[in-house]
Amino acid sequence: MKRDEAIELIRLRTGQDHVAGWDERIRLELEMAQASLEWDAVLPWFLMNVDDTLTATARTATITLPAGFLRLGTRGGLYRYDSTRTNPWVMLQRDSYEALTARNLGEGTVEWFAILGSKIYLFPTPAVTTTFRLIHFKTGGSLATNTATNPWLVYAPEVLIHEASARVDPERAGLWMELAEKEKNRIRMNEDQRDFDGQIPRVIPE
């Protein structure tokens, strides 16, 4: 679904189809609804991003987080590339910035990291230029244009539309939020099934 289709649907459902000048208001409410959803404790599978590779030059202790970074989540992490290994991506351990700084790890091969503000802090500081892969939750992006492919409108349009409708139509906010919650549960069930489908089948002895 495109952004303008979502706006038109909200206008029709909330009875605002006859009101002039509401498209921009609804667009802003869609963006606010998305921002609120992306602060939820549980984020949907379609926001997981595995494509960001980052580089730290020798003796550089930090990397700037990529645009749109939300958080790591339980399946996320930072991986260091090591060409000498059969599986070259080595998962690094995360700890607090304070705890790692107190260890005075100096320079060497990166084994730990901390996230503070908009930066990743590497420990030890890499002695050579090093490549990393960051697996993390990433925002669905802007709704400023009608051409952008927003994952919320691709995979969960009803969630975003209902949450925005609650803002546009506050008198029936409870109804819209109830519908949004039902869609969130559907997405969670879908994610559970995706996890189950990915498991190796087990033979249950008779």
Question: What domains can be seen in the chain, in order of their start residue?
Answer: 3-38+144-194 (no CATH), 46-138 (2.40.30)
pLDDT computed for residue 197 by the predictor: 44
Which alpha helices (H) appear in the chain, and where do they start and end?
3-13, 23-37, 97-102, 151-155, 157-168, 173-197
Rg, C-alpha atoms of the chain: 22
Give the pLDDT of the chain (206 residues) as one tens digit per residue.
Answer: 999 999 999 999 998 777 778 899 999 999 999 999 999 888 998 999 988 999 999 999 999 999 999 999 877 899 999 999 999 999 999 999 999 999 999 999 999 999 999 999 999 999 999 999 999 999 998 898 897 789 999 999 999 999 999 999 999 999 999 999 999 988 887 765 555 444 443 333 33
| Tokens at 206, concatenated | 């008779």
| Tokens at 196, concatenated | 């189950």
The whole-model pTM stands at: 0.83
**What is the rounded CA–CA span in Å between residue 157 and residue 160?**
5
